[in-house]
Amino acid sequence: MFYNFNKIEEVKIRLRSAEGHICEVEESAALMSSFIRSMIEGFNEVTEVSLPNINSVVIEKVIEYMRHYKDKDPPIIKKPIISSKMEENTSAWDAGFIDADWNMVVDLMTAADYLMMIPLRDLCCAKMACKFKGRSIDELRAEYHIENEFPSEMEENLEFQHPWRLE
C-alpha cells in the first residue's frame, strides 16, 4: 500500500451561489477576495460563504481566476488603456480569461466588486473600456440598442457645447 505522507489536504471554502449551488475553492485561493478573507478571519472555522448576488456560473469563473493567481500577482493594467485589444493591454492569459460576452463581463465585474477582488475588477473595467474605446456615439447606441433619449433641442445644445464630441 502506498501512502503520500507529504500531501496535506487543503481546507476548502464552500461558496453558495444565488441558486443555492455549492462551489468549492481552496482557502489559499479564496483569500484573494478581501470579502471572503474578512469572513474567514472574522469568524473562526467558517468554511461556507453565502453569495446570494452571484450565480454559480460566475462563481466558477471567479474561482478559475483565484486559482490561477493564488501564488502570483496579477499583471497591472496601465491607465488609460493603450489599445482596444485586451491582449495589447495585459497578459495573454488575462486577455483569454476575460474574452467573454458582455453580460458575463458585467456580472464578473459586479461580482469582483462585491467580493472586493480589485485585480479582477480592474481587469473587467479594462475590458469594458476596450469595448468603448474609439467608438462613436452612434456606434455605441447601435451596438447597445439605445434610442436617442435626448430631445432635439438638447441634442443641439450638446452639439453646441461639445462640437468636437462628434469628431
Distance (Å, whole) CA 58 – CA 91: 21
Residues within window 51-110 making contact with another protein, judged by CB under 8 A: 77, 79-81, 102-103, 106, 109-110
Is the Cβ of residue 24 or residue 102 nearer to another protein in the bound state?
102
Is the Cβ of residue 11 or residue 140 nearer to another protein in the bound state?
140
Is the Cβ of residue 93 or residue 102 nearer to another protein in the bound state?
102
Distance (Å, whole) CA 51 – CA 84: 32
Q: Is 5 helix (H, G, I), strand (E, B) or coil?
A: coil
Instruction: State the number of binding residues for another protein (CB under 8 A).
Output: 37
Element housing 14 (H / E)? strand 12-16
Q: Rounded to the nearest whole angstrom, what is the least distance from the CB of residue 67 to another protein in the complex?
A: 24
Q: Rounded to the nearest whole angstrom, what is the least distance from the CB of residue 128 to another protein in the complex?
A: 5
Q: Which residue has the cell 460576452?
A: 101
Is the Cβ of residue 14 or residue 118 nearer to another protein in the bound state?
118
**Beta partners for 25?**
13
Distance (Å, whole) CA 70 – CA 56: 20
Q: Which residue has the cell 473595467?
A: 125
Write out the residues near another protein by the rule CB under 8 A: 77, 79-81, 102-103, 106, 109-110, 113, 121-122, 125-126, 128-129, 132-137, 140-141, 143-146, 149-150, 158, 160-162, 164-165, 167
